[in-house]
Structure formats: structure tokens, C-alpha cells
């Protein structure tokens, strides 16, 4: 913990610190500023503690109560009456403008906890910090022994990047709504605010489209390995969107075009140039499928899908893939997107796509998601020079589906092995030459699911790397320090155990 304190620019304590004091410096992602108050005494949550809130913050208050009640066994009423003493107070009071919409100020003394932010999003991120200031057992869903003491001091915090993302590939293997919600719960703790769902690929179409019903009922009927697959009904998808929104997470839906489309081509023969539907695909090759660029029905299909997807999506982004279109010629790729980009523009949604889609001419508001492994990429640096924002997901650093080492039972290795220190060891603001920090919208950690079948598999690949990527996306570069990070990750282990997260015990960390 002494290391963490030094990294945060504070004097290292002269004597060994108490567990409460060290928790103050163990937060992931590292906050902008942490000021422990070694003489102030912490706040202990008791059976009489209330959560007091501004009316607009009731939702965040209820979220916090939902975390604390099962483990403490306390009532923890969420009330707007501030006359009660001994409280955790969430207020939308005045805080400096530089904290932005997601920043917060957290002050803890003997009398209580005060969390202030400009928006409920800021209160939500502050609540995630507060969770980490409590003993790990607070995350348990059954009653545990206290005391539930929050260390005294003050944290002032705001994010480095606006977009902090995780991606889940629900196409190669289908994950149920319950499994997706479990992942949402886990990533929210690290202040991730976007979940990109890869909803369609060669192996499966996972979202109900009423005007093309066979996409889901047939195209979604299997998955890699030949299992039963599945898809989200519109009602289930809307429920996921609102579950995520209650956790400060925007769902970013992706339909990958014009390649990665075998599930659609198998569902509707008329989408194929030769009018013959290929069989469903359950392998893990990429690059063999393409929509038929010269058929008019292709554009009717894309228009219908976009219309229905936009209708399901309150968030600002629509992701149209564009990667690995090895069976589409470059002129066809450009021709295709020349017709499709205006369809998205007409909806008012902001386009996202894998960086190859810069081969075509998306509007300048379009974001390019960089998934390469190199530090130079002309498409991306030229795009940034023209004014495109870039979302950083370099495969050799941010791909959570890469094996940790040669013995990892799950995952792939085409971008190399990626241990947690590799995942942490890069700067999104300088990684690609010619893409300055000002051109970086944020960072996203994709999890492709060719080899992953259930929540245990997701957790094993995402933890501990996802928190490492989340820190790159949230924390100021001045806090970046592997020695501090490995101490803090080690301290998260009991929390993951309490949450039931099946994490990888990386040999890089002294657990
Ligand atoms: C490349 S990255 C892909 C995916 C695979 C992934 C496996 C990208 C945009 N395309 O189709 O699932 O590698 O790591």
C-alpha cells in the first residue's frame, strides 16, 4: 500500500497502516486524488445508518442499498429527509466543473459519508469507489460479520476518457440475458460505461428483427460447436438496455457488415448472389462470407435491420462492424458502405466501426475502433488527422480473449499471449503514431467468444485484465504504475471471491 500512496503523490505513512487506511489507496481505477485523513477516524455503517439522497438520486441510492443490505443485514433506508444523522449522503450539489458529468467528490469522516457530483452518473461512479473502500465481504450476497468501516479522507475524481468500454461477443457463443447482466454487474464496479454487444456473426444472429424473422429463429439457432444458440427477443433486449442504464452503462449494438454475415445469408436465400442459402456455420474461421453488394435486396435488408435496431437503442452509437471483409473486394466494400452510411446518418446515431471501415468514407463524426497490433496504422492516423475519433482496442493489449500464456485452457493466441501486466502496459493516448490523446474517444476491451461458453469462462478471461484496461481508460496517466496496480489487484481477490468471480490467478501477482 505504501507504493500506492507514493504513486498518488502523497507522503508514505511512517507506520504500518490499518486495513481501512490501506483500502483508501487500493481503489481501481486509481482516482485522480486521494487524501487519507489518518487522524479523522472512519465512518462505520451501523443498523441505524440511512442513505440520504436528493430526490433525483434515489435510483443511485437504491443501487447502493442493494449492494450493502444483503451483506450487512441492515435496513439502510433510502430517504430524502436529511435531518437524520449518521448517514451516507448522495447529493447533486455544486462541484467544480472540471469534474464533468462522471466525476465526484467523496468525503468521509467519523460522522458520515458525503458523496457529491454534478449528475447521477457521477454519483454512480462515486458509489463504485465507496464499495471499494469497504471490506471485501460487503460484496457477499449473504450476511457477513462487520465492522463496516469506511476510511476517513477525501477522494476527488473524474475520468480520463469519456468512453470506457467492454465488448461481449454473443454471436460465436450465445450468452443468456442473465449471463450478460452478470457481466454488466462486474464491469460497472470498474466504472466501465459502455457495453458493446457483437450481435451477429457467421455463427449466429442474436437479435429479433420482426421484418426478417428467420434471422433470429433460424440464424440464431446454433453457435460454435453446434450447440443450441439463442437470441434476444426485443423485450429481452430492452430489458438489458435498461438494466445497463441503471448501472451507468450504454449498450452499443453491433451488426457486423458486409462480412461476418453467414448467419443472415443462411437464413434468407435471396440475400445470396447465387440465390442459394449456405448452411449454418459452427466453426471458427473468419472472412468467408459477404453480403451480395450488387443486389438491391441487400440494401432493403440493411435498412430494415438499422431501423429496428435504432428503435431498440436509446444510446448514441450504432456499430456496423466492417472488419475482415476478405470476401468483399475493396471497390465493393466502398460501394456497400457508400449506400449504408447515409442510412445511419439519417437516424441521428453516431457510427462506430472496426478501423478497416475507414477504407470507405464514413462521416467525420464516425468513430474508428482500432484493433490492430502495431503502433503505426495509416488508415487510423490519416482518419484521426481528418477528424475521426478513435476507440482503442489493440488486440495485443486489450483483447480479453487472448490466452494469458501457453497453458491457458481457453482463448486464442493470434495476437500473442497477454498477461495482466501486458494488458496494463500501454498508453492509449500515445499507442498509435499520429493518434494524439485528443483524438482518442476511449478504450474498449473486447471479449470474443469462439472458446467461451458461460459466465465462468467470461470471468476467467476478463479478470484480472478487465480492471487493468478500465484503469487505463479512467485514471490519469500520472497514476500509472504496475507495482501499485499489482498490489491493488491482489487486494481485489477477496472481493472477487465474495462476488463469485472465477478469476485467473496470474503468476504476475502475489495473491
Ligand atoms: C478478430 S477483431 C476478429 C473477430 C475474432 C477475433 C478473435 C475483429 C474486428 N475481428 O472476428 O473473433 O479476432 O480474437
Distance between CA 140 and CA 117 in Å, rounded? 27
Phi/psi at 422 (5° precision): -65, -45
Shortest-distance Cα residue to atom 6 of ligand 1: 448
Q: How far does the centroid of ligand 1 lie from the alpha carbon of residue 21, in Å?
A: 43
pTM: 0.96
The span from the first CA to the last CA of the chain, in angstroms, equals: 14
Residue 324 appears among annotated catalytic residues:
yes
- Find cell 454471436 and name the residue: 171
For residue 169, the ligand 1 atom closest to its alpha carbon is 12
Question: Angle 317-197-440 (CA atoms, 0-180°, nearest 5)?
Answer: 50
Is residue 396 within 8 Å of residue 373, measured between CB atoms?
yes
Q: How far does the centroid of ligand 1 lie from the alpha carbon of residue 254, in Å?
A: 13
Is it the case that residue 204 has pLDDT exceeding 60?
yes
Could you read off the pLDDT of 328-365 as tens digits, one per residue? 999 999 999 999 999 999 999 999 999 999 999 999 99
How far does CA 472 lie from the centroid of its chain? 12
- Find cell 487524501 and name the residue: 35
Bridge partners (DSSP) of residue 195 are 166, 251
Pocket mutation for ligand 1, best pick of 287, 448, 461 (most atoms within 8 Å of C-beta): 448
Q: How far does the centroid of ligand 1 lie from the alpha carbon of residue 203, in Å?
A: 13
How many other C-beta atoms can be found within 10 angstroms of the C-beta atom of residue 427? 12
Q: How far does the centroid of ligand 1 lie from the alpha carbon of residue 448, in Å?
A: 7
Pocket mutation for ligand 1, best pick of 168, 204, 324 (most atoms within 8 Å of C-beta): 324
Could you read off the pLDDT of 371-390 as tens digits, one per residue? 999 999 999 999 999 999 99
Is residue 90 within 8 Å of residue 115, measured between CB atoms?
yes
pLDDT at 19: 81
Q: How far does the centroid of ligand 1 lie from the alpha carbon of residue 303, in Å?
A: 25
For residue 399, the ligand 1 atom closest to its alpha carbon is 14
Distance between CA 43 and CA 111 in Å, rounded? 6
Ligand 1 surroundings by CB, under 6 angstroms: 286, 323-324, 354, 371, 399, 401, 412, 448, 450
pLDDT at 210: 98
- Grid cell digits, residue 489: 489487484
Q: How far does the centroid of ligand 1 lie from the alpha carbon of residue 371, in Å?
A: 8
Is it the case that residue 6 has pLDDT exceeding 50?
no
Question: In which order are the strands placed within the sheet that holds 87-91?
Answer: 33-36, 153-157, 104-109, 112-116, 87-91, 50-53, 78-79
pLDDT confidence band for 5 (50 / 70 / 90): very low
Catalytic residue among 324, 406, 492, 497: 324
How many other C-beta atoms can be found within 10 angstroms of the C-beta atom of residue 235? 10
- Strand duo 33-36 + 163-169: pairing: unpaired
pLDDT at 425: 97
Is residue 445 within 8 Å of residue 435, measured between CB atoms?
no
Q: What element of type H or E holds 243?
A: helix 234-245
Work out the average pLDDT over 418-426.
98
pLDDT at 3: 35
Distance between CA 251 and CA 248 in Å, rounded? 10
Distance between CA 315 and CA 469 in Å, rounded? 23
Could you read off the pLDDT of 211-238 as tens digits, one per residue? 999 999 999 999 999 999 999 999 999 9
- Which residues, 6+ apart, have CB-to-CB distance to 332 below 8 Å? 258, 290, 293
Q: Which runs of E-coded beta strand occur in 335-436?
A: 350-354, 367-370, 389-392
Could you read off the pLDDT of 54-108 as tens digits, one per residue? 999 999 999 999 999 999 999 999 999 887 666 999 999 888 999 999 999 999 9
Q: How far does the centroid of ligand 1 lie from the alpha carbon of residue 319, in Å?
A: 15
**Whole-Å CA distances, 384 to 365, 374, 441:** 11, 16, 11
Is residue 434 within 8 Å of residue 394, measured between CB atoms?
no
Pocket mutation for ligand 1, best pick of 323, 444, 452 (most atoms within 8 Å of C-beta): 323
Pocket mutation for ligand 1, best pick of 198, 286, 391, 410 (most atoms within 8 Å of C-beta): 286
Is it the case that residue 453 has pLDDT exceeding 80?
yes
Shortest-distance Cα residue to atom 11 of ligand 1: 286
pLDDT confidence band for 179 (50 / 70 / 90): very high
Q: What is the ipTM of this complex?
A: 0.95
For residue 354, the ligand 1 atom closest to its alpha carbon is 9
Is residue 511 within 8 Å of residue 493, measured between CB atoms?
yes
How many other C-beta atoms can be found within 10 angstroms of the C-beta atom of residue 46? 12
Q: Is 282 exposed, middle or buried (0-12, 13-18, 19+ CB in 10 A)?
A: middle
Could you read off the pLDDT of 238-266 as tens digits, one per residue? 999 999 999 999 999 999 999 999 999 99
Shortest-distance Cα residue to atom 9 of ligand 1: 323
- Grid cell digits, residue 456: 465462468
Shortest-distance Cα residue to atom 8 of ligand 1: 323
pLDDT confidence band for 16 (50 / 70 / 90): low
What's the per-residue H, E or C state across 416-446? Answer: CCCCHHHHHCCCCCCCCCCCCHHHEEEEEEE
Amino acid at each position: 500500500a505504501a507504493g500506492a500512496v507514493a504513486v498518488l503523490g502523497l507522503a508514505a505513512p511512517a507506520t504500518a497502516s490499518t486495513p481501512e487506511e490501506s483500502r483508501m489507496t487500493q481503489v481501481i481505477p486509481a482516482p485522480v486524488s486521494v487524501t487519507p485523513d489518518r487522524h479523522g477516524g472512519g465512518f462505520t455503517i451501523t443498523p441505524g445508518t440511512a442513505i440520504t439522497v436528493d430526490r433525483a438520486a434515489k435510483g443511485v441510492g437504491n443501487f447502493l442499498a442493494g449492494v450493502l443490505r444483503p451483506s450487512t443485514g441492515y435496513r439502510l433506508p433510502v430517504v430524502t429527509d436529511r435531518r437524520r444523522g449518521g448517514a451516507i449522503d448522495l447529493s447533486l450539489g455544486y462541484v467544480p466543473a472540471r469534474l464533468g458529468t462522471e466525476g465526484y467528490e467523496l468525503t468521509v469522516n467519523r460522522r458520515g459519508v458525503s458523496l457529491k457530483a454534478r449528475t447521477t452518473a457521477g454519483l454512480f461512479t462515486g458509489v463504485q469507489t465507496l464499495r471499494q473502500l469497504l471490506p471485501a465481504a460487503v460484496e457477499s450476497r449473504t450476511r457477513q460479520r462487520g465492522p463496516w468501516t469506511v476510511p476517513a479522507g477525501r477522494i476527488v475524481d473524474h475520468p480520463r476518457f469519456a468512453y470506457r468500454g467492454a465488448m461481449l461477443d454473443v454471436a460465436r457463443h450465445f450468452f443468456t440475458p442473465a449471463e450478460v447482466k452478470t457481466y454488466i454487474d462486474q464491469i460497472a464496479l470498474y466504472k466501465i460505461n459502455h457495453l458493446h454487444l457483437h450481435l451477429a456473426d457467421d455463427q449466429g444472429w442474436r437479435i429479433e428483427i420482426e421484418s426478417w424473422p428467420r434471422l433470429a429463429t433460424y440464424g440464431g439457432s446454433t453457435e460454435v460447436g453446434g450447440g443450441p444458440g439463442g437470441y434476444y427477443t426485443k423485450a429481452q433486449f430492452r430489458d438489458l438496455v435498461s438494466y445497463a442504464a441503471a448501472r451507468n452503462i450504454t449498450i452499443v449494438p453491433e451488426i457486423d457488415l458486409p462480412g461476418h454475415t453467414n448467419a443472415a445469408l443462411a437464413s434468407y436465400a435471396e440475400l445470396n448472389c447465387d440465390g442459394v442459402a449456405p448452411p449454418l456455420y459452427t466453426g471458427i474461421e473468419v472472412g468467408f462470407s459477404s453480403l451480395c453488394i450488387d443486389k438491391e435486396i441487400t440494401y432493403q435488408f440493411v435498412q430494415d435491420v438499422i431501423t429496428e435496431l435504432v428503435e431498440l437503442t436509446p444510446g448514441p452509437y450504432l456499430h456496423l462492424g466492417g472488419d475482415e471483409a476478405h470476401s468483399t473486394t475493396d471497390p465493393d466494400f466502398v460501394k456497400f458502405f457508400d449506400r449504408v452510411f447515409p442510412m445511419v446518418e439519417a437516424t441521428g446515431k453516431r457510427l462506430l466501426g472496426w478501423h478497416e471501415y475507414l477504407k470507405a468514407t464514413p462521416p467525420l463524426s464516425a468513430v474508428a475502433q482500432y484493433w490492430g497490433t502495431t503502433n503505426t496504422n495509416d488508415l487510423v492516423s490519416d482518419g484521426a488527422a481528418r477528424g475521426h475519433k478513435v476507440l482503442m482496442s489493440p488486440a495485443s493489449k486489450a483483447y480479453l480473449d487472448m490466452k494469458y500464456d501457453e497453458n491457458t485452457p481457453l482463448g486464442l493466441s493470434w495476437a500473442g499471449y497477454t498477461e495482466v501486466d501486458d494488458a496494463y502496459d500501454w498508453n492509449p493516448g500515445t499507442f498509435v503514431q499520429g493518434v494524439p490523446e485528443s483524438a482518442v474517444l476511449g478504450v474498449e476491451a473486447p471479449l470474443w467468444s469462439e472458446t467461451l461458453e458461460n459466465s465462468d469462462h467470461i470471468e476467467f478471461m476478463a479478470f484480472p485484465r478487465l480492471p487493468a484496461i478500465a484503469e487505463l481508460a479512467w485514471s490519469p496517466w500520472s497514476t500509472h504504475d504496475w507495482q501499485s496496480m499489482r498490489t491493488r489487484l491482489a487486494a481485489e481477490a477477496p472481493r472477487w471471491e465474495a462476488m463469485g468471480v472465477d478469476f485467473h490467478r496470474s503468476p504476475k501477482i502475489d495473491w
